[in-house]
């Protein structure tokens, strides 16, 4: 009697994809694309599930090495494992939205997400695309390898707006100060890298942008409209 043939090798891609494919886990991963740590309770609310249900899903995401966990006292906080996970999720979102009908953007939650959102520490959506376009048109960025460097003019211009970017125009090309990142909702490039993280952090810390509860969507505050009008003309239309 012949023994059965061994099962064919299954690429790990299949098992990881199966973990991501669950709607609840996908909502958790999408929320974490903002780039920050989030508590289990926060992720449960973002996914609209109970704490017990969230715990089971978080365990599967940890087993798949998609998340890292940090213990702070009695509480656990979760974050995407690394930039590779974030880039893979953004690529999946881009593919998933290829045939999205215009009517699908009528949903208020999706409208907020499309307008402005956190993308692993930098600004994405319509505002993120506009920011990148403005910096290029003002010649505040100059091409360097596969990315961009901040020019002296850019340092002065952003500094005049209140951003702490002193010395960034002296950064070597290897710093990956800024580079293109294809935006899944706009299908145009926004900006990733060290510089856009500094800019978004400043906007959040100074109350120019604020995050919607339970979402990674961002809204421009009245103060933000005043401070950002010179850099992002579209905020005047809000």
Q: Identify which has the larger pLDDT, 234 or 172.
A: 234
Stretch 22-30: mean pLDDT: 95
CATH class of the domain at 12-84: mainly alpha
Task: Please write the tens of the pLDDT for every residue from 66-84.
Answer: 999 999 888 899 999 998 9
CB-based contacts of 181: which residues, under 8 Å, 6+ apart? 90, 119, 122, 124, 189, 190, 191, 192
Strand partners, 78: 38, 69
Give the helix ranges, DSSP H, for the chain: 12-21, 23-32, 40-47, 51-63, 83-96, 108-115, 125-137, 152-160, 194-205, 222-228
Residue that is written with structure tokens 């949903």 in the block: 107
- In the chain, domain spans: 12-84, 107-237
The distance in angstroms from the start CA to the end CA of the chain is 75
- C-beta separation of 210 from 204 below 8 A: yes
Task: Please write the tens of the pLDDT for every residue from 184-213.
Answer: 889 899 999 999 999 999 999 999 999 887
180 membership: H or E segment, kind and range = strand 179-182
Task: Please write the tens of the pLDDT for every residue from 138-147.
Answer: 999 999 888 9
Stretch 166-173: mean pLDDT: 79
Residue 63 above 90 pLDDT?
yes
Q: How far apart are CA 34 and CA 120, in angstroms?
A: 5
Residue 119 above 60 pLDDT?
yes
């Amino acid at each position: 009697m012949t023994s059965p043939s061994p099962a064919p090798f299954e690429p790990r891609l299949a098992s990881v994809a199966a973990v991501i494919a669950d709607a609840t886990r996908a909502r958790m991963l999408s929320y974490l694309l903002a780039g920050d740590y989030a508590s289990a309770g926060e992720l449960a609310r973002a996914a609209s599930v109970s704490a017990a249900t969230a715990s089971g899903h978080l365990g599967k995401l940890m087993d798949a090495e998609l998340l890292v966990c940090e213990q702070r006292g009695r509480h656990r906080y979760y974050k995407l494992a690394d930039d590779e996970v974030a880039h893979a999720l953004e690529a999946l979102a881009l593919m998933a939205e290829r045939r999205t009908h215009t009517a699908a953007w009528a949903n208020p939650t999706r409208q907020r997400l499309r307008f402005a959102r956190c993308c692993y520490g930098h600004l994405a959506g319509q505002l993120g695309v506009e920011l990148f376009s403005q910096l290029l048109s003002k010649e505040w960025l100059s091409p360097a390898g596969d990315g961009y460097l901040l020019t002296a003019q850019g340092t002065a211009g952003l500094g005049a707006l209140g951003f702490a970017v002193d010395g960034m125009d002296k950064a070597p090309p290897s710093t990956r100060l800024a580079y293109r990142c294809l935006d899944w909702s706009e299908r145009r490039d926004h900006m990733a890298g060290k510089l856009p993280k500094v800019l978004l952090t400043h906007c959040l810390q100074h109350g120019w942008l604020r995050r919607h509860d339970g979402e990674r969507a961002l809204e421009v505050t009245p103060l933000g409209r005043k401070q950002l009008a010179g850099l992002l003309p579209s905020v005047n239309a809000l």
